[in-house]
Chain A
Amino acid sequence: MNIIVCIKQVPNTNEVRIDPVRGTLIRDGVPSIINPDDRNALEEALRIKDQYEDVKVIVLSMGPPQADAALREAIAMGADEGILLTDRAFAGSDTWATSTALAAGIKHIGDYSIIFCGRQAIDGDTAQVGPQIAEHLGLPQITYVEELKIEGNKVIAKRALEDGYFVIESEMPVLLTAIKESNQPRYPSIRGVYDAYKGDKVRLVSAKDINADFDNVGLEGSPTQVNRSFTPSGRTGQGEIFQGDHKESVKKLVLRLREKHLV
């Protein structure tokens, strides 16, 4: 059984500072990490590998050549191999273009039972790429997976909601997205680090190699337009005091809250 885990290399936002004038992220010198939710997805995949025989975990990423380090780190954690979709044609991709490219990459790999993604990336927070991949490939999807069981050719997942959960069953192949509550990812082992850099464990793949749809990848293929990036200024709303008769005040308060759609 092959499990493909999609990972993204992101700047460690704990260490990112914001340029106070331009309102943009200062990424210079900020170390890159595997997106945290993607590490949860990888951990979930590795647990399946620990539990069952003949499970192969393939990590897939789209990104610049430096993203190699993220794939090697995933291999040091226990993944079997890495595939990096890297091509100038992919530069500037939004979530649509990214999911198009990743879906093409997954088709290129071919044989898979589970595709695992993290819920969302800390540098974009869209949570769109996973579900879009499932749509591109015509696969069932279960997002926000907190717990996972495999039974025969089915997965049974606990899907977390804000105030409860669903238990959802799906046949494989299926796309799942993991949340941070799903597990505590393991550290890469030190021997794993040295093994990850031995031999040919990460394969570089170009847009051509995967027959990418050039109209739907990269900046040109991205329908999203970024108008402006800015830091929202602090709320400047003023407090309102209702005075006089209690009953009247409460009435006024409830009215105001209704106006603001807060109740």
Chain B
Amino acid sequence: MDFNLSKEQLMVRNIMREFTENEVKPIAAEIDKTERFPRETVEKMAKYNMMGIPFPAEYGGAGGDDLAYAIAVEELSKSCATTGVILSAHTSLACWPIYKYGTEEQKQKYLVPLAKGEYLGAFGLTEPNAGTDAASQQTTAVLDGENYILNGTKIFITNGGESDVYIIFAMTDKAKGTRGISAFIVEKDFPGFSIGKIEEKMGIRASSTAELIFQNCIVPKENLLGKEGEGFKIAMSTLDGGRIGIAAQALGIAAGALEETIKYVKERQQFGRPISKFQGLQWMIADMATEIDAARLLVYRAAFNKSSGLPYGKEAAMAKLYASECAMNVTTKCVQLFGGYGYTKDYPMERMMRDAKITEIYEGTSQVQQMVIAAAVLK
């Protein structure tokens, strides 16, 4: 068993570290405070092929793999979880379903500019009454000649309002239940599509989280993704992969928080010595380092499995469950180690703690991950 990263993955990690240090970290606090979407960072990521890492070069991607992509999200999230989720939602939730289920025409028209980062992508499944129970879709799509007509509302859509292309799920046949859901590729300018409320959030505040409104929205027939009735399968398999991205984001938040904390406890003097010399605090650091390593191994295994064509649904759920709870636990303890300073905006700890919480909620709550894992283990 080889735990070493490939030469390519190592180089990707170095690039992402340098990029994050120079381009992402300096604005992280500011965009959190002002809730400003970091468009300039997205453009820079596009320039260096970071917006389509796991896709082949012929589809505009970097020709890399899922582990390199997970490493990219991890490194970005060490300093800015917002930037991490922008990349994760775009890559896993918008590019991937087109790569996996799209026709060649759809790939050329949408995946190529998405993977190049010329377009930003989003994924619309959640509705006011269809969260964890994603099958209760109320958005409808009715075929009318050459077009589908979509009606309904999506909420909590990451990259919503900032994206050019949306993967949207809607009921084409209510009588068939989950088999009546279909997926569509919707462009931001399609008639009848508009952006509603932009959420004001506790964390990942510079990530745009929007309501999508479809009022007799006209979607050309050729923008049906997969076949009619395949939507639920497409959504679930997309989320299986998306969880690797969010797990990597959670891992990055935890690892970034611990890195900052290690620097701090070595410098902060109390009772005449650095607080890192106190055994009680050393044990906290040791436990956190161990937890983060365990999370990393789970995340990397899930990513490795996905690139290797091995099953990864259960592995991705385990990685997301564990890494997100690790992020919450570690950031809470790191705020504690920073003491009063950790609670202020002079240090990034309080932001990281706020950012960590969402990783236990979106792309399947921790409880959903437990359902997925239990179903796989008990089958």
Q: Does A8 lie at the interface of the complex (its beta carbon under 8 Å from any beta carbon of B)?
A: no
Q: Which of A72, A76, A191, A195 has the most chain B CB atoms closer than 10 A to its own CB? A: A191
Q: Does B192 lie at the interface of the complex (its beta carbon under 8 Å from any beta carbon of A)?
A: no
Nearest chain B residue, comparing its CB with the CB of A33: B14
Assembly CA distance A206 to B344 (angstroms): 58
Contact with A along B1-18 (1 / 0, CB 8 A): 000000110011011001
Selected interface stretch from B56-64, B131-139, B173-181 = B56-64
Q: Is the CB of A194 within 8 A of B7?
A: no
A66 to chain B, nearest CB (A): 11
Q: Does B257 lie at the interface of the complex (its beta carbon under 8 Å from any beta carbon of A)?
A: no
Assembly CA distance A190 to B14 (angstroms): 11
Q: Does B68 lie at the interface of the complex (its beta carbon under 8 Å from any beta carbon of A)?
A: yes
Contacts of B49 in A (CB 8 A): 189-192
Say yes or no: A69-B11 contact (C-beta < 8 A), given A187-B48, A189-B49, A191-B49: yes
Contacts of B64 in A (CB 8 A): 190-191, 193-194
Can you pick out 23 interface pairs between chain A and chain B where the beta carbons lie within 8 Å of each other?
Answer: A31-B14, A69-B7, A73-B11, A76-B15, A187-B15, A187-B18, A188-B15, A189-B47, A189-B49, A189-B62, A190-B12, A190-B48, A190-B50, A190-B68, A191-B64, A192-B49, A193-B12, A193-B15, A193-B64, A194-B8, A194-B57, A194-B62, A194-B64
A137 to chain B, nearest CB (A): 32
Contacting B8 at CB < 8 Å: which of A33, A187, A189, A197?
Answer: A197
Contacts of B304 in A (CB 8 A): none
* Contact-size category for A: 10 to 19
Contact with B along A69-91 (1 / 0, CB 8 A): 10011001000000000000000
Q: Is the interface of B mostly helix, strand, loop or mixed?
A: helix
Contact with B along A179-191 (1 / 0, CB 8 A): 0000000011111
Contacting B7 at CB < 8 Å: which of A31, A189, A197?
Answer: A197
Q: Is the CB of A76 within 8 A of B11?
A: yes
Q: Which of B47, B57, B63, B64 has the most chain A CB atoms closer than 10 A to its own CB? A: B63
B70 to chain A, nearest CB (A): 13
By Cβ-Cβ distance, the 4 closest A-B pairs, closest first, are: A190-B62, A191-B62, A191-B49, A194-B63
Beyond contacts A69-B11, A195-B57: 5 other A-B pairs, Cβ-Cβ < 8 A, are A76-B11, A188-B15, A189-B62, A191-B62, A193-B12
Give the residues from 4 to 39 in chain B that come closer than 8 angstroms, CB to CB, to chain A: 7-8, 11-12, 14-15, 18-19
Assembly CA distance A69 to B57 (angstroms): 22
Q: Does B53 lie at the interface of the complex (its beta carbon under 8 Å from any beta carbon of A)?
A: yes
Give the residues from 61 to 82 in chain B that come closer than 8 angstroms, CB to CB, to chain A: 61-64, 68, 72
Contacts of A33 in B (CB 8 A): 14
Nearest chain A residue, comparing its CB with the CB of B18: A187
Assembly CA distance A43 to B48 (angstroms): 15
Q: Is the CB of A191 within 8 A of B7?
A: no
Assembly CA distance A259 to B224 (angstroms): 87
B184 to chain A, nearest CB (A): 29
Contacts of B63 in A (CB 8 A): 191, 194-195
B56 to chain A, nearest CB (A): 10
Contacting B57 at CB < 8 Å: which of A76, A191, A197?
Answer: A191
Nearest chain B residue, comparing its CB with the CB of A76: B11
Assembly CA distance A190 to B87 (angstroms): 14
Assembly CA distance A71 to B50 (angstroms): 21
Assembly CA distance A194 to B61 (angstroms): 11
